[in-house]
Amino acid sequence: MKAPEKQSSPYAFYGSIPFSQAIPLGLQHVMAMFVGNLTPLIIIMGACGLTVDAGYGAMRTAILQNAMIIAGVVTLVQMFSIGPCGGKVPIVMGTSSGFLGVFQSTVAALGGGALTYGAIMGACIIGGIFEGILGCFLKPLRRFFPPVVTGCVVMAIGLSLLSVGINYLCGGSGTKDYGSGYNLFLGAVVLISILLMKHFTNPTSLLSTSSILFGILIGYLVAIVMTLTLPNTAVTADGTEYTCAWVVKFASVRDAAWISLPCFIGIGALSDLHLTFDISVILPVCIMFIVTAIETVGDISGCMEGGVGREATDEELSGGVICDGLGSAFAALFGVLPNTSFSQNVGLVSMTHVVNRMALTCGAVFLVLCGLCPKIGACVSIMPQPVLGGAAVMMFASILVSGIQLVTREPITSREVTIISVALGLGYGLGSTTGATAHLPYYVQLIFGGSGIVPAAFAAILLNVLLPKGLMTPSTAAKAK
């Protein structure tokens, strides 16, 4: 597909803008996804017993370093494409948290250790290739994804992320000072800063277009001042002392190396890891890659609707899903979990409408530099979660708004109302109700449990096929009489 004529605007994908504008616009994407890019790896390595205390410190550092590099590289492929791989869309790629459930089940079944982690990586290679093949056949399946279906999926994604944004704002799940006044204050500083810069400055100025980045930086600076001037610890009701969630931990930056090169599985710091292929692991992982393909269709649809104001094309969806799959297989060679489209950044695009490829390229290059220079990565990774939460609550809600825009592109009849109602009722209901699928077979739990995105997509696709078209709304019927 021929690229459209270039425009000097951050709101045009192919626009040429100065680096002074592109760099901050790209950095705000990195800020939005940096913590989420590393957290799934930390969780699964911990579940496998690959901890610092067990002697795997160098391996953990190398895998986290690889995760930043891979996210940057796969994002570049998604935006520029290599043959059919890549949709040429403003999507940021990163380590997926959607696979955590199946990977934790794998660890429970196989017993953990480096061998189990190697089996997970082997399954990711097979599953990634499977999704890549699925993406090649996405075009004939496009008729099953009209705006009402993709809109339901996008809204389900947005709804599933609302609680994530609030959790960040309150300090992060499991923290001892969850919801404390200091955490909420930091999040409020970021949110108010973004609103002031976004709507009370010149709309074309750098402060307005990069309001997310500057809001996060302001919150980060406030957190540093708080860390240097206020007590860093508190005591629980039972007398246990803990470090507050808003504290900036400078030790990670001090201990990080200046330069470090990536390595493959079986080489260097990853020499204890070896790829193995276990059908009991591969099958559920492949099922999850089907789920991921559906989410990617929703993410790309939401990104194009929210950022560009149009539906995604067949080529964009197909290329995006292929990149999702092959990028995940490539990531596994470096010991990194599947790399998929990041919904957090879809929200950022929907809110700012900044889709410029040059800006996102700067963000992707910065991710690669963070991997090559761990000290830079450490500076970003120590950012307290309440700072990110102040921006996330607004960004994630923007995804929901993009879904609403998608379903309202065409007149809403009673047919569409039924599809949306059932899809969101099942999707959000199952996703937000813990244990709703607990007594169903394992593979049913795997597909329909968790976020609720898949049941919403399944219901929307099925009803779109089964319900007769041409139904009129009551007001339309009245006019017809």
What SS3 string covers 263-314?
CCCCCHHHCCCCCCCCHHHHHHHHHHHHHHHHHHHHHHHHHHHHHCCCCCCH
Confidence of residue 345 (pLDDT cuts 50, 70, 90): confident
Residue 323, pLDDT score: 93
Terminal alpha carbon distance of the chain = 46
Q: Read off the tokens for 363.
A: 């963000």
Confidence of residue 377 (pLDDT cuts 50, 70, 90): low
Q: What is the pLDDT of residues 381-417, one digit of tens each?
A: 677 878 878 877 887 777 787 778 778 877 888 888 8
Q: What is the pLDDT of residues 84-130, one digit of tens each?
A: 998 898 888 988 877 776 787 678 777 778 898 999 999 999 999 99
Q: What is the pLDDT of residues 55-79, one digit of tens each?
A: 777 787 788 889 989 999 999 999 9
Choose among 191, 165, 161, 167: nearest CA to 392. 165
CA distance 359 to 14: 10
Residue 333, pLDDT score: 93
Please give the model's pTM, rounded to 2 decimal places. Answer: 0.71
Kindly state the percentage of the chain with pLDDT values over 90. Answer: 13
Q: What is the dihedral of CA 322, 324, 326, 327, to 10 degrees?
A: 140
Confidence of residue 2 (pLDDT cuts 50, 70, 90): very low
Rounded to a whole number, what is the largest CA-CA distance in the chain?
Answer: 78
**Which stretches of 90-159 are assigned E, i.e. beta strand?**
93-95
Run of H or E including 110 = helix 100-110
Output the CA–CA distances (angstroms, integers) from residue 344 to 50, 128, 292, 399, 402, in the order listed: 28, 22, 15, 8, 13
Task: Tell me the residue type at 172.
Answer: G
Choose among 381, 400, 327: nearest CA to 151. 400
CA distance 276 to 120: 8
Whole-number average pLDDT of the chain: 81
Output the CA–CA distances (angstroms, integers) from residue 1 to 4, 139, 304, 314, in the order listed: 9, 15, 16, 11
Output the CA–CA distances (angstroms, integers) from residue 401 to 129, 169, 219, in the order listed: 33, 20, 25
| 460 or 211, higher pLDDT | 460
Confidence of residue 285 (pLDDT cuts 50, 70, 90): confident
Per 3-state DSSP, what percentage of the chain is helix, strand, and coil (rounded to 5)?
65, 5, 30
Confidence of residue 319 (pLDDT cuts 50, 70, 90): very high
Of 29-33, 222-226, 263-267, give the range with the top mean pLDDT.
222-226
Asked if residue 27 has pLDDT above 50, the reply is yes
Residue 480, pLDDT score: 46
Residue 78, pLDDT score: 93
Asked if residue 24 has pLDDT above 50, the reply is yes
Give the mean pLDDT of 447-459: 73
